[in-house]
Amino acid sequence: VTPLIDSKRLWASIIETAEFGALSQGGLRRLSLSPEDGLVRDWLRTKCEALGCTVRIDEVGNMFALWRGGTSALDPIAIGSHMDTQPTGGKFDGVLGVLGGLEVLRTLAAENYRTRHPLMLINWTNEEGSRFSPAMLGSGAHAGIFDRDVVYETRDNDGLRFRDALDSINYLGNEKLGSVKFRAMFELHIEQGPLLETAHRDIGVVLGVQGVRWFDVKLRGQEAHSGSTPLQHRRDALCAAARLVTAVRAIAESSREGVGTVGSLKVIPNSRNVIPGEVLLTIDLRNASEIGLDQMQSRLLVQLDQLRIEGFEPEISEAWRNPALRFDSDCIAAVRHGAVQAGLETKDLVSGAGHDAAYVARVAPTAMIFIPCKDGLSHNQAESATFEQCANGVQVLLNSVISYDSGAFAVCYPA
Amino acid sequence: VTPLIDSKRLWASIIETAEFGALSQGGLRRLSLSPEDGLVRDWLRTKCEALGCTVRIDEVGNMFALWRGGTSALDPIAIGSHMDTQPTGGKFDGVLGVLGGLEVLRTLAAENYRTRHPLMLINWTNEEGSRFSPAMLGSGAHAGIFDRDVVYETRDNDGLRFRDALDSINYLGNEKLGSVKFRAMFELHIEQGPLLETAHRDIGVVLGVQGVRWFDVKLRGQEAHSGSTPLQHRRDALCAAARLVTAVRAIAESSREGVGTVGSLKVIPNSRNVIPGEVLLTIDLRNASEIGLDQMQSRLLVQLDQLRIEGFEPEISEAWRNPALRFDSDCIAAVRHGAVQAGLETKDLVSGAGHDAAYVARVAPTAMIFIPCKDGLSHNQAESATFEQCANGVQVLLNSVISYDSGAFAVCYPA
C-alpha cells in the first residue's frame, strides 16, 4: 500500500522554515541568495543529509538531494520547486513544493518503502525573479535557456552580481549546469488563482502553462492646454490609451482560454491641466495555446492600426514571450491517479503563472499539482493555504511519484 | 483720430525683455520673483518712469504705473497682464499684455494724446503659479480672493517663502492690497488655443472665462496575478478608469460649450504582471456657464455610481473650482469697436485658460483681447505669434481704451 504522509510534520516544517525571513504580518521576505535564503538552504541540506541524501549544488546554486531509495541504474524521479520568495511574499508559494518533497522522502524513509527509481529533491534558485531578473533563472539555466555567464553577471538593484551573491551564501556549486539528470519531475504548488476554491475542488491537475507575450506600447498625442483646446483639436494620448485598455479586455473576453492585462501605464506629462501628450503602457496577453495567442495578438494589432489612422503613432515592441506548454501526459496521468487514490476531487487547469516546471518540461517529463489558496491570493503576506489543503497536496505528490515509479502510466516507459 | 502704435518699437521691447530668462530654444524661464523677474520689473519701472508715470508697488508686488494723461478726478483705465513665465515658457504669454500696454502709453505720449481718464499699466505678480501656487496670485490677492498673510507664507519647491522671495528682488511694496483703484481693465493675451488661427481671424473678442471644476478620483480594484486570475474574477481598477476617461470625453462632447480632460492618472502598483489594484486620476471639467458645469458634473456622478455598483468604491473630491465668468458688456463693446476700427476680423470666444482679468473682473469692469498664436501652443518654448499679430492686438488694445475712455459704450457710465 502507498504510505500516508505525516501532515503534522509537514506543517511543522512550514512553520519552522518560515522563521527565515519572517515578516510581521505572517509573510516572508526571503529574496534569492539573501542571507535568509542561505539559512533555509542550510536547513534543507541538513534535513536531507539526515535522510541519507547526497546533496549536490550546481553552478547557479540549484540544490539536488539524491535519495538512493531505488535502483541506481535508473535516473531518479525528481520533486522540485523553490524556497525564495517575493519581497513581501507568503509562506507557501514554492516553499510547499520543496517541503512537500522533503515530507515525501521522510515518509518513504520512515516506512522503509522501496521505489524502483532513486528519488531526488530539487530546490531551484531564484524562481521569483524579484531580486535577480528574469524569473525562474535556476530552472531555466538548467534547461539551457539561460547562459551561465550571463546569469553570473545579472545584478540586483544594489548592483551586486548574481555570482557574488551566490558565493556569499556558499552556494556556488561545481556541478555543471544541466549535468544532473532525472527521469521526470513533479512540482506541487499553490494555485495562485481562485478556480479550485471557487469550484470546491481539492486538487488541480495542471495540464500545462499558458503562453505569455509581453508588449510595450507607446502612444503619442499632442500636449496642450486643457482649457483652451477645443475637443475637435485634441489628440489626447490618454483617451487613445483608455480605448486600448478596454480593447485588451475585450480581446481576452473573446478568446477561448485567454486573459489580457494592462498592468502598467504612464502618462506624460501627467499634469492635471495638460492634455496628455504621450502614454507608455504594457500589455500582457496569455493563452493556453499558441494559436490562441496568435489570434489575440492579431486583434491587438488591428486596434493599434485604428489608433495609427487617428494619428496616435502607436509603437509596439515585444518585451518577452514564453510559449504555451503542455505537460507530459504520463506525468499528468500519474497525478490524476494519485488524487483519485487519495479520494480527492480534481479539476483540470492550465497554469496562468510561470513555474520552474515549465522550464524543466523542456528537458524532462514533468507535471504539476495545485492546491487551492485563500481567495486565490499570492505574492502577498495574506497568501494562505490550510493545514488540510497542504496535506492533501503532499499526499497526492507522494501518490503521483509512486504511481509514476510503478510505470503504470508510462505509455513509452522503458520498463 | 486714434493714434497708430509703433509696431517696431513694440517688437523691439519684446525682443529686449526676452533676454531676462532667455532659454536656448527661444523660450523663457522667468519664474515669479526670481532674479530674472526682478530684472524685467526694473526694466519696466524705468521705462514707465521715463514716460512720467508714478510706479506704486503693493504688498504682494503688483506694479501699478499711473500715467497722468487725463483728469485726476476720474479713476484710471487700466491695462494689465503679467511678466512671469512657466519654467519653459514662451515670449508672449502675459508679456505681450504688459509690453502692449507700455506701447499704448508710449504712443499716446508721443502723440500728446489726452485721454479723459488717467491710464494705468499693471504688472500682476505670479500669474503662472508654477513657482508659487496657486496661479493668478497677485490679481487674486488684489481682488480679495487670497489673504495677504497666507500668500506671504506660500513656499516654492525649495521651501522659500513668497514674502522672502518678494523682498529679495525689492518688490515688497507698501500699497495696501486692493487699495489701488481703477475704472476698468483691459488685458491683451495670446489665445493659447487654435480657434483664431483655424478660423483665420485676427482678434478674439473674449466674452468671458470658462468655469473650471477640478476633481480627484480614486478607484479601487483588487490586485491580483495577471496570469492566474480568470477574467470573471477580476476587479481591474485600470479597466474601470479607462471607461471613466472615455466617459469624461463623452460628457464633454455632449455638452454645448464644455471640455473635459483626464490629465493625470496613476496606477498602483503599476507592474506589468499585476492586475491594477488602485487608480488615482484627476478630472478637469470646463464650461462657459455654471449651468453647463452642473450638467457635466451630474453626468460624471452617474458614471461613478455605475462603477460603485460594480464594486470599484469610487471616491471623488473637488480639488478646486472657479466659477464661469462673463466680462463687462461695455468693455466688450469697446473691444469689438476697437477691432472694427482697426479693420480686423473678429471672433467671439470664451477663454479656456485662467487669466488675471478673471479675478480683476470681480472688482472692476474688465475685458480681454486675444490674438492668434501658432498652432494654439503656449507654456512651451515653441509658443509663437507674429510681428503683425502682436501689432494688431496692441492696436486694438489702444483703440479699446480710447473707445472706453470716450464713454461711447458706457451704458451705465457716469459721463
Tens of pLDDT along A99-115? 999 999 999 999 999 99
- Give A227's contacts in chain B (Cβ within 8 Å): 210, 212, 259, 284, 286, 351-354
> How far, CA to CA in Å, does A128 sit from each of A33, A84, A94, A125, B75?
11, 7, 9, 9, 75
Query: B272 — contact with chain A (CB < 8 Å)?
Result: yes
**Which residue in A229, A249, A380 is closest to B193 by CB distance?**
A229
Q: How many CB atoms lie within 10 A of CB A145?
A: 15
Percent of chain B with pLDDT over 90: 89
Task: Flag the least confident range among A69-83, B150-164, B208-222, B356-370.
Answer: A69-83
pLDDT band at B54 (very low <50, low <70, confident <90, very high): very high
C-alpha cell belonging to residue B146: 487670497
pLDDT in tens, A284-325: 999 999 999 999 999 999 999 999 999 999 999 999 898 999
| A:17-56 residues touching chain B, CB 8 A cutoff | none
Return d(Cα A332, Cα B98) in angstroms, integer.
80
At A377 the pLDDT is 86
pLDDT in tens, B344-371: 999 999 998 889 999 999 999 999 999 9
| CA proximity to A301, closest of A413, A213, A364 | A213
- Give A273's contacts in chain B (Cβ within 8 Å): 214, 261, 263, 284
At B69 the pLDDT is 76
At A409 the pLDDT is 61
Looking at the complex, report in whole angstroms how far the Cα of residue B372 sits from the nearest Cα belonging to chain A: 12
**Which residue in A230, A263, A379 is closest to B259 by CB distance?**
A230
pLDDT in tens, A165-221: 999 999 999 999 999 999 999 999 999 999 999 999 999 999 999 999 999 999 999
Looking at the complex, report in whole angstroms how far the Cα of residue B301 sits from the nearest Cα belonging to chain A: 19
> Is B275's CB within 8 Å of A253's CB?
no
**Which residue in A242, A253, A263 is closest to B274 by CB distance?**
A263
* Bond prior to A372 in cis (omega within 30° of 0): no
- Give B245's contacts in chain A (Cβ within 8 Å): 238-239, 241-242
- Give B236's contacts in chain A (Cβ within 8 Å): 249, 261
> Is A245's CB within 8 Å of B249's CB?
no
pLDDT band at A1 (very low <50, low <70, confident <90, very high): confident
At B355 the pLDDT is 95
Looking at the complex, report in whole angstroms how far the Cα of residue B11 sits from the nearest Cα belonging to chain A: 25
Return d(Cα A185, Cα A366) in angstroms, integer.
5
Indicate whether A413 pLDDT > 90. no
β-bridge partners, A281: A217, A265
pLDDT band at A71 (very low <50, low <70, confident <90, very high): confident
Please, how many CA atoms are within 13 Å of residue B230, restricted to the half-sphere of its CB? 14
β-bridge partners, B215: B283, B318
> Is A230's CB within 8 Å of B191's CB?
no
Question: Strand runs (DSSP E) across A248-356, as ranges?
Answer: 258-261, 265-268, 274-275, 278-287, 315-322, 325-326, 346-351
At A415 the pLDDT is 33
pLDDT band at B405 (very low <50, low <70, confident <90, very high): very high
- Residues B177 and B60 sit within 8 Å (Cβ to Cβ): yes
Q: Which of B88, B192, B197, B238 to mutate to test the interface with A (most CBs of A within 10 A)?
A: B238
Average pLDDT of span B260-284: 95
Return d(Cα A42, Cα A48) in angstroms, integer.
10
At B367 the pLDDT is 98
Hey, is A386 helix, strand or coil? coil
Query: B382 — contact with chain A (CB < 8 Å)?
Result: no
The enclosing H or E element of B133 equals none
- Give A259's contacts in chain B (Cβ within 8 Å): 226-227, 229-231
**Which residue in B224, B259, B274 is closest to A227 by CB distance?**
B259
- Scan for cell 485588451, then name that residue: A248
Task: Tell me the residue length of chain A.
Answer: 415
Indicate whether B230 pLDDT > 70. yes
Return d(Cα A95, Cα A121) in angstroms, integer.
12
- Give A347's contacts in chain B (Cβ within 8 Å): none
Question: Strand runs (DSSP E) across A99-247, as ranges?
Answer: 119-124, 184-190, 203-209, 211-220, 224-225
- Give A231's contacts in chain B (Cβ within 8 Å): 249, 252-253, 259
pLDDT in tens, A333-366: 999 999 999 999 999 999 988 899 999 999 999 9
> Residue B179, class by beta-carbon neighbours within 10 Å (0-12 exposed, 13-18 middle, 19+ buried)?
exposed
Burial A98-108 (b: 16+ CB within 10 A, else e): bbbbbbbbbbb
| B:181-200 residues touching chain A, CB 8 A cutoff | 191-195, 198
Please, how many CA atoms are within 13 Å of residue A15, restricted to the half-sphere of its CB? 8
At B412 the pLDDT is 44
pLDDT in tens, A209-228: 999 999 999 999 998 889 98
At A414 the pLDDT is 39
At A73 the pLDDT is 85
Q: Percent helix, strand and coil across chain B, each rounded to 5?
A: 35, 25, 40
What ipTM goes with this model?
0.82
Scanning every residue of chain B, which has its alpha carbon at the shortest distance from the alpha carbon of A217? B272
Query: Mean pLDDT score of chain A, rounded to an integer?
Result: 95
Q: Which of A128, A238, A287, A322 to mutate to test the interface with B (most CBs of B within 10 A)?
A: A238
At B409 the pLDDT is 61
pLDDT in tens, B125-136: 999 998 998 999
Return d(Cα A26, Cα B120) in angstroms, integer.
71
Indicate whether B325 pLDDT > 50. yes
Average pLDDT of span B387-394: 98
Return d(Cα B257, Cα B379) in angstroms, integer.
23
> Is B243's CB within 8 Å of A239's CB?
no
**Which residue in A224, A249, A263 is closest to B226 by CB distance?**
A263
At A279 the pLDDT is 98
